[in-house]
Amino acid sequence: MSITLEIPQQASRAEIYQALAPQLESVLEGESDFVANLANTAALIKESFHFFWVGFYLVKNQQLVLGPFQGPLACTRIDFNRGVCGAAYRAQKTLVVPNVDEFPGHIACSSLARSEIVVPIFNSRQEVIGVLDVDSQHLNDFDSVDQKGLEALVKVLERSITKNQNDIART
Q: Which residues make up the interface to ligand SME (CB under 6 A)?
A: 53, 74-75, 78, 83-85, 106-107, 109, 113, 116, 133, 135
**Residue number, 20 or 109, with CB nearest to ligand SME:** 109
Closest of 77, 99, 103 to residue 91, by C-alpha:
103
Work out how close the CB of 102 gets to ligand SME at its nearest, in angstroms, rounded to a whole number: 12
Closest of 123, 44, 113 to residue 84, by C-alpha:
113
**Residue number, 113 or 160, with CB nearest to ligand SME:** 113
CA dihedral 68, 115, 106, 144 (to 10 degrees): -80
Work out how close the CB of 86 gets to ligand SME at its nearest, in angstroms, rounded to a whole number: 6
Work out how close the CB of 83 gets to ligand SME at its nearest, in angstroms, rounded to a whole number: 3
Residue closest to ligand SME (Cβ): 83
**Residue number, 51 or 53, with CB nearest to ligand SME:** 53
Q: How far is the CA of 114 from the CAs of 51, 57, 111, 117, 168, in angstroms?
A: 11, 19, 8, 11, 34
Work out how close the CB of 72 gets to ligand SME at its nearest, in angstroms, rounded to a whole number: 8
Closest of 144, 149, 89 to residue 118, by C-alpha:
89
Work out how close the CB of 6 gets to ligand SME at its nearest, in angstroms, rounded to a whole number: 28
**Residue number, 23 or 121, with CB nearest to ligand SME:** 121
Partner residues linked to 97 by β-bridges: 116
What sign has the CA pseudo-torsion 145, 17, 70, 65?
positive
